[in-house]
């Protein structure tokens, strides 16, 4: 890693709930709604407060209508109701075409829907309106990275770093772009800086661990992945990569791995992969578990399965099988997946 049109704000509405209210009571109600709408809360009450302000009779108040739409859109976005959020941001921008924050929030909503091209357009506009907006550069870089356009992402992260050199995520973002572009030597200093700035963020350690994994530096990879899990134990993929790194360096970690794998939901992916490494599942069972009623999810999980089955075959010294499976992962995984880069790096190490 976010309303409806058609309100006629000039229409005089007479809500039944206003009947009989004293002026003081009405003022208090308006004041409460303003406070709730402008707050960071995203519960039903705060959403209704924004809506109540939008349907007020025209003479009751002279609100910042664009701001109300923006606030409600931000609440919808936080609730992952991205379509509703986008509609509100659309309206805020229609009312205020220079509403920088609304462009930025709408871009994030599009990004979280996976519409990265559309998100880039909003981040472009944000940067046009506010050239020193570090978050906009970071978000545009992330949108490019999520499309696998790492060469385009890196300059945006560099600009974000210039504007916010104390923000660890800017360094982690650039490090990720370098790593997924195969530039491991340039990724490591960025991860080092991210860790220095935010040593309590598990993602900084797991990201550096992944780069060390790609470079077959198994001890360094294991150390970083272990530190990541110490901060956040509920990272199933980190658990898998830690186990592979330890096994690659000849360490028997079955007791610790069993304990960490037990935290995974056994009915959810990638728990079947953990069972494979524990000798509790066969490759065919892993492939069957990777299937999904959702076509895209099934495709993604099958590509991941190919990588982990390849890694498992390598640990069993079945090199021919491993190469075939890793090639399958390389050819089918999105380039944004760590399994893609993991397969690429392992095949290079094997001379393939």
- Checking if the pLDDT of 4 tops 70, the result is no
Q: Is residue 231 part of a domain?
A: no
| Ordered alpha helix ranges (H), the chain | 23-38, 44-54, 65-78, 82-95, 100-112, 116-129, 134-146, 150-163, 168-180, 184-197, 202-214, 218-231, 236-248, 254-261, 271-277, 283-290, 295-315, 319-332, 338-349
Count of domains in the chain?
A: 1
Q: Is residue 38 part of a domain?
A: yes
For the stretch 39-50, pLDDT in tens is 999 899 999 999
Q: Is residue 121 part of a domain?
A: yes
Q: Is residue 144 part of a domain?
A: no
For the stretch 53-111, pLDDT in tens is 888 776 666 568 999 999 999 999 999 999 999 999 999 999 999 999 999 999 999 99
Contact 175, 207 (CB under 8 A): yes
- Region 189-198: what's the mean pLDDT? 98
pLDDT at residue 49, as a whole number:
92
CA-CA-CA-CA torsion sign (61, 66, 71, 76) = positive
In angstroms, rounded to a whole number, what is the distance separating the alpha carbons of residues 122 and 251?
49
Q: Is residue 11 part of a domain?
A: yes
* % the chain with pLDDT above 70: 90
293: buried, middle or exposed (CB in 10 Å: 19+, 13-18, 0-12)? exposed
- Region 332-340: what's the mean pLDDT? 95
Contact 67, 92 (CB under 8 A): yes
Q: Is residue 246 part of a domain?
A: no
127-to-1, 91, 92, 121, 304 alpha-carbon distances in Å: 20, 20, 18, 10, 36
Q: Cα–Cα–Cα angle for 172, 218, 175, nearest 5°?
A: 15
Q: What's the CATH code of the domain at 25?
A: 1.25.40.10
What range defines the domain where residue 11 resides?
1-131
Q: Is residue 185 part of a domain?
A: no
- Region 31-38: what's the mean pLDDT? 90
237: buried, middle or exposed (CB in 10 Å: 19+, 13-18, 0-12)? middle
Q: Is residue 83 part of a domain?
A: yes
CA-CA-CA-CA torsion sign (57, 62, 63, 64) = positive
């Amino acid at each position: 890693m976010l309303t409806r049109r058609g309100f006629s704000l000039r229409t005089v509405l007479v809500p039944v709930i206003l009947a009989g209210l004293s002026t003081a009571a009405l003022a208090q109600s308006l004041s409460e709604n303003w406070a709730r709408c402008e707050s960071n809360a995203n519960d039903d009450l705060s959403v209704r407060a924004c809506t109540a302000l939008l349907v007020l009779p025209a003479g009751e108040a002279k609100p910042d209508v664009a701001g109300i739409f923006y606030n409600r859109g931000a609440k919808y976005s936080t609730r992952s109701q991205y379509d509703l959020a986008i509609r509100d941001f659309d309206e805020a921008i229609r009312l205020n075409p220079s509403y920088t924050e609304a462009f930025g929030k709408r871009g994030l909503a599009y990004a979280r829907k996976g519409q990265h091209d559309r998100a880039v357009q909003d981040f472009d506009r944000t940067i046009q309106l506010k050239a020193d907006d570090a978050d906009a550069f970071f978000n545009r870089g992330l949108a490019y990275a999520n499309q696998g356009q790492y060469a385009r992402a890196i300059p945006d992260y560099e600009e974000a770093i210039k504007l916010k050199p104390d923000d660890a995520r800017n360094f982690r973002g650039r490090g990720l772009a370098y790593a997924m572009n195969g530039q491991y030597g340039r990724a490591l200093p960025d991860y080092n800086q991210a860790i220095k700035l935010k040593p309590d963020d598990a993602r900084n350690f797991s990201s550096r661990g992944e780069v060390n994994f790609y470079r077959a530096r198994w001890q360094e990879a294991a150390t970083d992945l272990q530190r990541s899990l110490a901060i956040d134990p509920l990272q199933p993929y980190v658990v898998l990569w830690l186990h592979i790194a330890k096994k690659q360096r000849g360490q028997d970690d079955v007791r610790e791995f069993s304990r960490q794998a037990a935290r995974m939901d056994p009915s959810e992916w990638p728990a079947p992969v953990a069972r494979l490494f524990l000798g509790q599942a066969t490759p065919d069972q892993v492939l069957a578990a990777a299937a999904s009623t959702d076509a895209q999810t099934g495709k993604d999980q099958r590509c991941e399965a190919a990588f982990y089955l390849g890694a498992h075959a390598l640990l069993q010294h079945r090199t021919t099988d491993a190469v075939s499976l890793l090639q399958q992962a390389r050819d089918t995984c999105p380039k944004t997946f760590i399994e893609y880069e993991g397969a690429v790096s392992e095949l290079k190490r094997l001379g393939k």
